[in-house]
């Protein structure tokens, strides 16, 4: 009888030869320029990561933009803004288009630069000179002026939070035309020049009058405009009652410090707001941001509110697919995964780590697929016992507390092959920086990654199985080369669950995720 071990080895050897080294020095496959740009756009925050500096990321994105058509740059910016909810790289891609393809920039500007934060990002990047110019130029100025024209007086006033640049700075740069006496007065007010106070929009006049005599309920202005002022408990209660969902999530400890939760009716209102399915969806919240809120709330925040955050998490991950067949989820718990998921930025580094996001995704899949097998890995598979009936938060915390070691992405498939396990979908959640595993098939004239070799062996036993590599860091290599049964995707939003669901059911077209981006309408 022919040796099964021999033919398994040959099957692994037939995997494609690795063509590069990853950031950690391990064998890897280079993503195509389009795929790499999509990966950076979906995960990059232009901050220092475990393996790369912010400057490295910026230069790689700019180099990738030179290798792809401007159509794809535009579609990537839209996709990663509208579905990935990202800010920094989509704004950067718009700045690239300002220098390379004004027509494409005009087509996508209002969809990508769709709020004040994105406008400030775009102007800041463009004026930095990193894309080849330091002035806005005639078209970008016209688009920014149109941004102001398309917003009401009140919306422009509410956008006047944040610096570097401020709204006043941008108004001075582009000189938007005031279409009415109230807009003319508002522009003067914002940039600190003489203006007709009686012509200001009603909300601005109300705010200025209240600042002179801060009695009673504060005017309905952005939260940031009020927090530096001496407010009474009753005024804080008024702010809490009308706060937006995102403002509420981000300021639970602030509300607690100012006595908001001593009032049971307001506590119930805040809990109801946080667990509102409609508001959670409209807030476009990243699931990991809910985890951050849950981890960071102080002891003064009532249990009812903490429970509401858990309910909001269940809503945020509710579109995790229920997969027909056996699911294996492999969260990476290695050392590099303990770095901040959005990178390191002085004074603003997220407390949420890559391992927290990986654990969250694994717990969410287990919640929806109760017989799923969760195999955390570092050097080897790390044993863990999870109850699928526990909350996503509970299981995510358990996974994130596991011991860390080096990164060996093939460990999961080695374990599955050793057990001759069956599965229909295997999902890795990792930074893909595998370096401890080396190919065992060098003698056959090629050196595939060990992950790819083991996947080929796994496929002999599970011919219809599919592999998903969900990467949560902005790097441009993978351990498993894209093909019909392998999906490489990046991102933090719940949109990745939709793509995985389509892939698992065989509904994605050629090139999988990149194909989805290329189908984005301009």
Q: Who wins on pLDDT, 50 or 423?
A: 423
pLDDT 10s digits, 289-346: 898 899 889 999 999 999 999 999 988 888 788 888 999 999 999 999 998 888 776 6
pLDDT 10s digits, 352-401: 889 998 998 999 899 889 999 999 999 999 999 999 989 888 999 999 99
Looking at mean pLDDT, say which of 131-135, 173-177, 509-513 comes out highest.
173-177
Query: Residue 156: is its pLDDT beyond 90?
Result: yes
Neighbouring CB atoms inside 10 A of 31's CB total: 25
Query: Residue 5: is its pLDDT beyond 70?
Result: no
CA dist 409 → 15, 138, 305, 503 (Å): 16, 50, 38, 21
Residue 511 burial (C-beta neighbours within 10 Å; 0-12, 13-18, 19+): middle
Query: Residue 520: is its pLDDT beyond 60?
Result: yes
Residue 287 — pLDDT band, cuts 50, 70, 90? confident
User: What is the signed CA dihedral for 427, 429, 433, 434, rounded to 10 degrees?
Assistant: -40
Structure tokens at 8: 């398994």
Run of H or E residues at 102: helix 102-112
Which CATH superfamily does the domain covering 4-30+322-518 fall into?
A: von Willebrand factor, type A domain (3.40.50.410)
Instruction: Tell how far CA 308 is from the center of its chain.
Output: 22
Taking residues 133-154, what's their average pLDDT? 93
Neighbouring CB atoms inside 10 A of 442's CB total: 11
* Measured distance CA(343)–CA(480) in Å, rounded: 24
What is the β-pairing status of strands 425-430 and 466-471? Answer: parallel
Residue 351 — pLDDT band, cuts 50, 70, 90? confident
Run of H or E residues at 490: strand 486-490
User: Residue 4: which residues within 8 A CB-CB, separation 6 or more?
Assistant: none
Residue pair 512/504 in contact (Cβ under 8 Å)? The answer is: no
> Across the chain, what does the average pLDDT equal?
90
What pLDDT is recorded for position 439?
Answer: 46
* Measured distance CA(357)–CA(348) in Å, rounded: 18
* Measured distance CA(467)–CA(469) in Å, rounded: 7
Query: Residue 205: is its pLDDT beyond 90?
Result: yes
Residue 239 — pLDDT band, cuts 50, 70, 90? very high
Query: Residue 478: is its pLDDT beyond 90?
Result: yes
What pLDDT is recorded for position 12?
Answer: 52
Instruction: Enumerate the domain spans of the chain.
Output: 4-30+322-518, 35-82+86-158+162-221, 222-316
Concatenate the DSSP letters of all residues of 164-187 into one string: SS-HHHHHHHH-PPP-SHHHHHHH
Residues facing residue 469 across a β-bridge: 428, 488
What pLDDT is recorded for position 345?
Answer: 67
């Amino acid at each position: 009888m022919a040796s099964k071990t021999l033919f398994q080895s040959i099957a692994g050897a037939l995997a494609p030869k690795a063509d590069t080294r990853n950031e950690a020095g391990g064998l890897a496959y280079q993503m195509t320029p389009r795929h790499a740009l999509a990966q950076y756009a979906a995960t990059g925050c232009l901050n220092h990561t475990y393996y790369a500096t912010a400057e490295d990321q910026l230069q790689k994105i700019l180099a990738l933009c030179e290798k792809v058509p401007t159509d794809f740059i535009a579609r990537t910016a839209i996709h990663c803004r509208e579905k990935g909810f990202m800010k920094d790289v989509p704004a950067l891609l718009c700045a690239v288009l300002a220098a390379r393809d004004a027509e494409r920039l005009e087509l996508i500007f209002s969809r990508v630069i769709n709020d004040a934060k994105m406008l400030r990002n775009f102007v800041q990047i463009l004026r930095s000179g990193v894309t080849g110019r330091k002035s806005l130029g005639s078209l970008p100025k016209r688009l920014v002026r149109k941004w102001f024209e398309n917003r009401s007086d009140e919306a422009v006033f509410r956008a006047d939070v944040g610096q570097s640049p401020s709204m006043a700075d941008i108004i001075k740069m582009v000189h938007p035309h005031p279409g009415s006496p109230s807009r003319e007065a508002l522009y003067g007010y914002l940039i600190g020049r003489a203006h007709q106070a009686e012509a200001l929009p009603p909300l601005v006049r109300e705010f200025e009058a209240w600042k002179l005599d801060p009695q009673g309920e504060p005017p309905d202005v952005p939260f940031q405009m009020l927090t530096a002022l001496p407010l009474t408990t009753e005024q804080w209660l008024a702010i809490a009652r009308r706060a937006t969902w995102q403002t509420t999530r981000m300021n639970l400890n602030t509300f607690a410090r100012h006595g908001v939760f001593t009032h049971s009716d307001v506590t119930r209102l805040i809990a109801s707001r946080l667990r509102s399915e409609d508001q959670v969806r409209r807030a476009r919240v990243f699931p990991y941001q809910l985890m951050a809120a849950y981890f960071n709330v102080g002891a003064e925040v009532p249990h009812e509110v903490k429970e509401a955050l858990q309910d909001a998490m269940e809503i945020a991950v509710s579109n995790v697919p229920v997969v027909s067949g056996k699911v294996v989820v492999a969260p990476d718990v290695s050392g590099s995964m303990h770095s901040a998921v959005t990178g390191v930025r002085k004074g603003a580094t997220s407390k949420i780590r890559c391992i927290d996001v990986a654990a969250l995704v694994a717990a969410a899949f287990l919640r929806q697929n109760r017989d799923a097998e969760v195999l955390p890995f570092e050097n080897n598979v790390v044993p863990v016992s999870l109850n699928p009936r526990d909350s996503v938060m509970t299981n995510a915390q358990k996974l994130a507390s596991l011991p860390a070691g080096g990164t060996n992405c093939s460990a999961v498939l080695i374990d599955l092959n050793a057990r001759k396990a069956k599965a229909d979908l295997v999902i890795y959640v990792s930074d893909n920086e595998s370096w401890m595993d080396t190919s065992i098939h060098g003698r056959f004239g090629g050196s595939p990654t060990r992950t790819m070799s083991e996947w080929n062996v796994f496929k002999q036993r599970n011919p219809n199985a599919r592999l998903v590599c969900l990467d949560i860091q902005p790097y441009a290599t993978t351990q498993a080369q894209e093909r019909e049964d392998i999906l490489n995707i990046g991102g933090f939003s719940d949109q990745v669950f939709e793509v995985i669901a389509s892939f698992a059911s065989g509904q994605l077209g050629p090139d999988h995720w990149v194909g989805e981006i290329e189908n984005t309408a301009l």
